[in-house]
Structure 1
Amino acid sequence: MTQSPRTHTNGITAGRLDQATLAENFSDLHPPMDRHEAQVAADRCYFCHDAPCVTACPTSIDIPLFIRQIATETPEAAAKTIFDQNILGGMCARVCPTETLCEEACVREAAEGKPVKIGELQRYATDTLMEKNVHPFDRAEPTGKRVAVVGAGPAGLSCAHRLAMKGHDVVIYDAKAKPGGLNEYGIAAYKSTHNFAQAEVDWLMRIGGISLETGKGLGQGLTLPGLQEEFDAVFLGVGLGGVNALQAEGTDRDGVADAISFIADLRQADDLTKLPVGRNVVVIGGGMTAVDAAVQSKLLGAETVTIAYRRGTDRMGASKFEQDLATSNGVRILTNVMPVAVHGNGAATELELEYTADQGGKLVGTGETFRIAADQVFRAIGQTLGEVPSILDLDGGKIAVTGAGRTSIMGVWAGGDCATGGDDLTVTAVAEGRDAAEDMHEILMG
C-alpha cells in the first residue's frame, strides 16, 4: 500500500509505502526453523566422514557433528560445536552465502541438487542457546597481558573473544557509535532482524575481560605507536572505509551516492517511512552490496530498480541465489554495460550506459550507448582502505599480512577486509580474527 510521499530531491521521496507494508517487506528473509523442521532437515545429512562441507567452511565448523547433535535433540551441544570455531555463528547463519560454501559442497547437492539446509540448521542451534542467555565458554585465569583491538567488526570481535577466553584483557576501539562493523551497518535489514547484531555483541562480551570504547579509531584519537606503547599487542580489524569513485561524467549531481551509506542509513533508521528512495533507482556493481541496495530500494517502494554490471552474470560477485533474490523482487539486471554519464539539471534524471565487450581478456566499450531513467544512482563498485599508519606495508591496497595475520610491524596483527587474503565475507573475517588471536596468544605467552 502506498501513502502520500514526502518529496526530497528530484524524484527521491520518503514515505512511498506505509509502515505495515514496510514491516512485511523487511521481515526475516529466512524465518527460523521450529523443532520439527530442524529434525526433518537434520535427518537428511549423511554425516559424511571427511565431509566436504567442513572443508568448504572458512571457519572449519564440524558440520556433521553439530547436525547429528540436532538430530539427537541436543541443540545446545550443537551450538557449542559451532561456537568452538565461529563465535559469530549466529550472524553467519543469517548472512553467509552458504549456497556457494558449505551447501554447494554438500553430497546431497551433488547427488540431488538439494543440499542439507546447513545455514538454517546452524541458526536453529545457535538461536536455541543464545535465547537461553547462556555463554558456553569460561575465561581462563588472567595472564596480565593487555591487547588492543581496533575495529569492532567480525574480525575484531572474533579476535577479542578468543583472546579474552585465554585470559588476556582486551580493549576494543571502534570509530562508529555502535559495535558490529559490517554486521551492524553493512548488511541488508531483512537478513538480520530484531537488532540481532547488537544482541550478539552483548552475548559475546559475556565472556568477560573485554571493554569497548566507541568513537575512537586510527586517526580519531588513536595512533598505532601510542597503542603499541600502552598494550602488549595490537590487532587491526578496521575494515574498508573508502568507496571507489564512479568513472563517469556528472557523478556530482544530486541523487548519486554510495550504496554502503544507503544500507547503513536504512539499518539505523527507526522509521523506514522517513527514509527517502528514488522512483527510478540504478545500482552500479555486481556484488552482494549491489544486490542488498537494489532489493531494499524496491522494498522501500521504488518503481523501477536496475543493477548495471560491466560483465556477464557469471562474473558477478553476488551468488546465483542473490541474483535470483533480486529478480524475484522485481529488480532488473543489465549486464555487459558500464556507466558513461549521469544526466540531469542539477539532479540526476538519466544514466547513460555503454555496452561492453571482452577483447582478449580486456574489457572495452563498444561505442554503443543508451539511457535509462535514474533519479537515484548508487555506487557499489568496491571499497578502499581507510585511515591506516603509513609505516605498515600494503599489498594491493590492503594491509600486507603473513601467516595468521602478522603485519610488517612486530606485535601488530591484522585481519578481515582491511588485510590481504580476505574475501569480504563475515565468516572469513571471523576465521582470520580467531587465527590471529591464537597466534598472538602463542607469542604473548612464549
Structure 2
Amino acid sequence: MSSDTFTPGIMPGRLDPAAYSEQFSDLHPRLDPHEALVAADRCYFCHDAPCITACPTEIDIPLFIRQIATGTPDAAAKTILSQNIMGGMCARVCPTEQLCEEACVREAAEGKPVLIGQLQRYATDHLQEQGVHPFERAAATGKRVAVVGAGPAGLSCAHRLAMLGHDVVVFDARAKAGGLNEYGIATYKTVDGYAQSEVDWLLQIGGITIETGRALGREETLESLRGVFDAVFLGMGLGGVNALQAEGSDKEGVSDAVDFIAELRQAADVAQVPVGRDVVVIGGGMTAIDAAVQAKLLGALNVTLVYRRGRDRMNASVFEQDLAASKGVRIITHAVPRAVIGNGAVREIEFDYVGADMVPTGQTLRLAADQVFRAIGQTLQGDGLPALEGRKIAVTGAGRTSVEGVWAGGDCASGGDDLTVTAVAEGRDAAMDIHAVFSGAVA
C-alpha cells in the first residue's frame, strides 16, 4: 500500500517515533561469549544424538556445540555450514522448539533444552562477521546450471553446485535475492539487513551469477533454460495467494499478509508503514502470526487472528502462538470468514463458528475491522512446469521432476513442510544429485 494513499482508518505513525526501534528490536539477541560457553556446557554430547535426526539438514549438533565449548566457534560454524549454508538465518527463524530442541535429551529430562538455535547463531555470526568464507570452489567442470528462485532452496542449491565447480546463474523475479528470507519473515526476527549480508557472504564462493527481475513464465521459460543450461533447478517458491472465499472480500482494506510483511521488510522506516486500528488476520501459519504481531508492534489497537481449526492444528508453533498472545494478539479458533462488511472499505468482518467437521454451528461472530490480512496459504504460479502433485511440482528422490534434467525443491515442490531449513536441505540434496548425474555416478 502506498504511504500516500491510505484507506480510511489505516495510517502510519501510530506510535511515538522513539518506540519503533524498541518494538522491532532483535527477538533473540545474540549470546555473548560467556553465555555461549554456559549454554554449550549443558549439552550431554549424546552419541546417537536425537537432535541431529530432528534437524532437516542433519547438522552434527553435539560436535558444533563441543567446538563452541572448547573455544573454537569458527570451527563450529564450519560444521554447521557444511550441512546448512544458510545456518545463520535458520538459527534465527527455525522453529527449533519443534525440531532439534524438542528432541533434546535435556528437554525430555528437565523441560529445558540446550539453546541449540542460539548457539548456532553465535557460531555462524562469529565467522561471518569476519568476512570469512570457509569453503573453496573446486576446479571448473564446464557445466552450467540454471537456478530459478533466489530463496533458501535456490541459494543452497547454487552454493553447493558452485562449490563442486559448476557455473550457476540464479534467476529471481524480485529486485533482491533472498526470497522468503528477504521478503517473507518478520522484521524482528532478522534485523540489520542480515538476509542480504548472508546472501553477499554466500556468494563469496564464486561461480554464481544472480539475475534479478527475471521470472519463469515472464522473461524465462523452462524450455528456453533447458536449451541453454546442462540442468535446471526450480526453487521459486509459491507466488500466488489463495483467495478469501467470503462475500465482499474485494473491499478496500483487505490485502495479503505476505505483501504487508514484504513492505515492512523493505521499509527504510517502519514508522511509515500504515496499519489499521482494528486489524484481523485470517490464517494459522507463520505468515499469519508474523503479520498479526507486526500489526500490533506498529500500534494497532486491536489485533485478532482467526483460524478455522483448533490451536493444535495451527502450523505456527506453540512458541509463536504464545509470542503473539504476549504481544496482545487475540487468537480465535474454529471460525471461518462469512462476509466482509462495509461501504467500499471494510468496517467489519463476520465469521461462522464451525465444528471439527468444518460444518457451521449456527453461531456467528462479527469483529470490527478496518484492515484484514489474508494468510490462508499460497499457490504455485507458472506455465509449462513439470507434472504436478496436487498444487506443487511432483518430485522423487533428491528433487527429480517429470522432465529430464530438471530438479525442484523448497515450497514449490511436493513433500516438504514449508520451512526454511527444509528448503535449504532440498536445494543442497538436489545439487548433489545434479553433480552425481554430471559425473556419471548415477543415471
- Report how far residue 7 of structure 1 moved: 8.5
Matches of 1:231 and 1:205, distance apart in 2: 20
- Where does residue 95 of structure 2 map in the other structure? 97
Per-residue CA shift, 1:105-154, capped at 9, x if unaligned?
A: 00000000000000000000000000110000011000010000010000
- Where does residue 410 of structure 1 map in the other structure? 404
Find 1:377's aligned residue among 369, 372, 377: 372
- Report how far residue 428 of structure 1 moved: 0.1
Matches of 1:57 and 1:183, distance apart in 2: 19
- Where does residue 315 of structure 2 map in the other structure? 317
- Report how far residue 371 of structure 1 moved: 0.8
- Report how far residue 370 of structure 1 moved: 2.1
Post-superposition, which runs of at least 4 consecutive aligned residues in structure 1 deviate over 6 A?
none
- Report how far residue 60 of structure 1 moved: 0.1
Q: TM-score, normalised by structure 1?
A: 0.97
- Where does residue 393 of structure 2 map in the other structure? 399
- Where does residue 367 of structure 1 map in the other structure? 362
Matches of 1:171 and 1:36, distance apart in 2: 42
Deviates more, 1:12-21 or 1:244-253: 12-21
Per-residue CA shift, 1:381-422, capped at 9, x if unaligned?
A: 1000011424x1000100000000000001000000000011
- Report how far residue 272 of structure 1 moved: 1.4
Q: SS in structure 2 opposite 1:100?
A: coil
Per-residue CA shift, 1:302-342, capped at 9, x if unaligned?
A: 00000001111111111000000000000000011111011
Find 2:31's aligned residue among 30, 33, 41: 33
Matches of 1:305 and 1:159, distance apart in 2: 39
- Report how far residue 18 of structure 1 moved: 3.3
- Where does residue 171 of structure 2 map in the other structure? 173
Find 1:142's aligned residue among 119, 140, 143: 140
Matches of 2:218 and 2:384, distance apart in 1: 12
Q: Which amino acid aligns with 1:434?
A: R
Q: SS in structure 1 opposite 2:315?
A: coil
- Where does residue 417 of structure 2 map in the other structure? 423
Are the aligned partners of 1:7 and 1:13 in contact in 2 as well (CA < 8 Å)?
no
Q: SS in structure 2 opposite 1:310?
A: coil
Matches of 2:36 and 2:71, distance apart in 1: 9
1:300-339 equivalences in 2 (<5 Å): 300-339=298-337
Matches of 1:125 and 1:293, distance apart in 2: 29
- Where does residue 129 of structure 2 map in the other structure? 131
Q: Which amino acid aligns with 1:207?
A: I
Q: SS in structure 2 opposite 1:87?
A: coil
- Where does residue 52 of structure 1 map in the other structure? 50
- Report how far residue 6 of structure 1 moved: 8.6
Q: SS in structure 2 opposite 1:31?
A: coil
- Where does residue 263 of structure 2 map in the other structure? 265
Matches of 1:47 and 1:232, distance apart in 2: 43
Matches of 2:91 and 2:32, distance apart in 1: 15
- Where does residue 244 of structure 1 map in the other structure? 242
Per-residue CA shift, 1:329-367, capped at 9, x if unaligned?
A: 000000111110110111001010111102xxx311112
Matches of 1:162 and 1:18, distance apart in 2: 46
Q: SS in structure 2 opposite 1:114?
A: coil
- Report how far residue 271 of structure 1 moved: 1.4
Q: Number of paired residues?
A: 438
Q: SS in structure 2 opposite 1:266?
A: helix
Matches of 1:205 and 1:20, distance apart in 2: 36
Matches of 1:388 and 1:111, distance apart in 2: 51
- Report how far residue 10 of structure 1 moved: 2.0
Indicate the percent of aligned positions where both proteins have the same amino acid: 72
Q: SS in structure 1 opposite 2:18?
A: helix
Matches of 2:340 and 2:113, distance apart in 1: 43
Matches of 2:393 and 2:212, distance apart in 1: 23
Matches of 2:183 and 2:119, distance apart in 1: 25
Per-residue CA shift, 1:28-50, capped at 9, x if unaligned?
A: 00000000000000000000011
Q: Which amino acid aligns with 1:189?
A: T
Matches of 1:53 and 1:37, distance apart in 2: 21
1:84-123 equivalences in 2 (<5 Å): 84-123=82-121
Are the aligned partners of 1:18 and 1:273 in contact in 2 as well (CA < 8 Å)?
no
Per-residue CA shift, 1:192-223, capped at 9, x if unaligned?
A: 00000000000000001111110001112111
- Where does residue 16 of structure 2 map in the other structure? 18
Per-residue CA shift, 1:173-203, capped at 9, x if unaligned?
A: 1010000000000000000000000000000
Unmatched runs of 5 consecutive residues or more in structure 1: none
Matches of 1:41 and 1:124, distance apart in 2: 11
Q: Which amino acid aligns with 1:176?
A: R
